[in-house]
Amino acid sequence: MAKAYKKRGLGRGLSSILNDDENNILDQKKHKPFNEIDIHLIDLNPFQPRTNFNINELEQLTSSIEKLGLIQPITIKKNNNRYTLISGERRLRAFQKLGKKSIPAYIRLANDQESLEMALVENIQRKNLDPIEIAISYSRLTEELKISHNEMSKRVGKDRTTITNYIRLLKLDPIIQSGLRDNFISMGHGRALINIESFEKQLSVYEKILKKSLSVRETEKLVSQIKETNPKKTKSVSEFYLKIKEQIQRRFNTKVKYNLSKKAKSVTFDFQNEEKLKQFLKRLNEK
């Protein structure tokens, strides 16, 4: 008989965010924690915000599981005759590498919204995430829950400015974001580069950071010099357009630019990659 797994305590704020209920993690027919689930019946979570899986860390986890067993079961939800993974993709991958046919799992009643929230919150609570993964998780979580950075701060026990600083990293050029993910530059460098609106100038400074091994303080000084020699040209924009722009940027998490010339008036939206464009279009079509 398979050994029953006791549910462990969730990270600070996790229960309050997900409104977790122990009964939701029980098999509704047998009223006991789910034990072994056939791996071939489990589909990956389509809402998984994490895209990078460190090969060495995965190997270490696999070795640990082989020697000591699985400490924390994965979490899944029932989907007709199959199951959808909510959290624990690394653990599932490790079991697959070991050639296991089944894996201990909690089964939870969750809709797509809750599945996304659980995956995002699990990411935020996890260690060794790159800054962009954390930024994406915070951004999507505040959007999906429709709450402010202040409210998110209270729920996950993180300082509001920390959450805001992470989300602002998404304003960087995608190439620089990749540099952050690969540890070519630090979050401090990224925060300095955010103050440059032009992607072209961001990349120019980014190249200097790499070539000259500039420190964060040196980068901040360089950015300050660029802003002083290239003062921002501002045009008079009515309160109406500013309010609409702010609403659009908050709703779709994207930069908005106006062309308010006499000949033509238009609005343009920035997106960083294909996934961001899909998210934008999905939200655009929501009622």
Q: Output the pLDDT for position 17.
A: 41
Of the given ranges (8-12, 29-33, 238-242, 271-275), which has the lowest mean pLDDT? 8-12
Mean pLDDT of 248-258: 72
| Active-site pick, 22, 59, 66, 89 | 89
Q: Output the pLDDT for position 153.
A: 82
Q: Is the pTM of this model over 0.75?
A: no
Angle at 111 between CA 108 and CA 115, to 5 degrees: 70
201 exposure class (CB count in 10 Å sphere: 0-12, 13-18, 19+): middle
Query: What sign does the CA torsion over 195, 185, 89, 23 have?
Result: negative
Q: Where in the chain is the domain with CATH 3.90.1530.10?
A: 14-126
> Pick from 127, 24, 135: which is nearest to 76 by CA?
24
DSSP 45: P
The per-residue DSSP string of 1-23 comes to -PPP-PPPPPPTTHHHHHT--GG
Please say whether the beta carbons of 92 and 127 come within 8 A: no
| Residue 15 reports pLDDT greater than 50 | no
Instruction: Give the pLDDT confidence of 170-221 residue by residue, as tens digits.
Output: 989 988 998 998 889 999 999 999 999 888 899 999 999 999 999 999 999 9
**207 in active site:** no
Instruction: Give the pLDDT confidence of 103-158 residue by residue, as tens digits.
Output: 999 887 656 566 666 666 666 666 567 888 888 878 877 877 777 888 878 777 78
Residue 128 or 274, more confident: 274
CATH number of 14-126: 3.90.1530.10
Q: Output the pLDDT for position 127.
A: 56
Mean pLDDT of 62-84: 87
Q: Output the pLDDT for position 277.
A: 73
Phi/psi of residue 110, each to 5°?
-150, 135
Q: Output the pLDDT for position 267.
A: 72
| Residue 162 reports pLDDT greater than 70 | yes
How far apart CA 52 and CA 181 sit, in angstroms, is 9
Q: Output the pLDDT for position 210.
A: 94
Q: What percent of the chain has pLDDT over 70?
A: 68
H-assigned helices in the chain: 14-18, 55-68, 89-97, 112-125, 131-145, 149-156, 160-168, 174-181, 187-193, 199-212, 216-229, 239-252, 274-285
Q: Output the pLDDT for position 111.
A: 61
91-130 CB burial, b ≥16 within 10 A, e <16: bbebbeeeeeeebbbbbbebeeebbbbbbbbbbbbeeebb
> Pick from 96, 108, 42: which is nearest to 70 by CA?
96
| Residue 246 reports pLDDT greater than 70 | yes
